[in-house]
Amino acid sequence: METSAEEPSPFFVMQCYGDVEQLPRCLKQLRRHYPKARVLVISDGFEDRTIASIGARYGVEVEMGERLFTAEHGGAAVHRLIARFLDGPEPVMLKIDPDTDVVGRVKFSAEDFDIPSVSGTIQYAGVAPRRLVSVQGGCIIVNRLAAERIMASGVLLGQDMGPPDFIWAVNAMLQERARQMGLTSHDWTLGYACKALGIRVEARSDVYSVWRPRLADWRLSRSGYAIVHPHMNLGICLYQEAKRLVKRMLRLTH
């Protein structure tokens, strides 16, 4: 049985760092479809006071937070998002990014809240036995049961989430992200937590979220999704497609 159009009311949270120019578009779309939802923008150690004025314009809360999205902090950035979620009464959290498009309302059913679950667009990393399943970070949906289990466990604040272990970094790309770029990951620290705690990770048919979109993604994103990430600009998709083609040609010539 589906819930009504007004229930449940989700909690929206996004982390902002140097991408303030993306906020007005995202928040304008969000408020069109969720005029009364609790929304929090967390500035991850980025001291730009225009964030507060943008937040006031769209009736959202702004937190000028500590910089946590670095590798040394492990899963602390996700822990903070979940803690803010549990401060309120909502049954579900939608973690989005400033470059996420809120095109419509996400449809929930009673079954979405029966067991702990995290959902969105599924992605995989690593090989057995360390293989992880996670949700792409442009839209991560966490129900309250999952959030409560994660917070009670303290897994996101475990020492192995940070240096030297980076237990969530299960392939070469994620190792480079942590060790060379010095960054953590919402997607993969949460994916590790879900694996460690037996939380279901599942795909949603109304969310389409990718990292670097291709031309095919631009086409697919126009197929009635409620949440799309990132902003699907045709020019950017063509640019990314051209970059991939050049890299492929260079590999063939060498």
Residue 55 maps to a domain: yes
Residue 137 · residue 186 · CB < 8 Å? yes
Q: What is the pLDDT of residue 237?
A: 61
CATH number of the domain encompassing residue 36: 3.90.550.10
Q: Is residue 34 part of a domain?
A: yes
Instruction: Answer yes or no: pTM beyond 0.85.
Output: yes
Domain that holds residue 94: 11-205
On the question of pLDDT at 11 being above 70, the answer is yes
Domain presence at residue 113:
yes
Residue 236 included in any domain: no
Average pLDDT over residues 236-248: 68
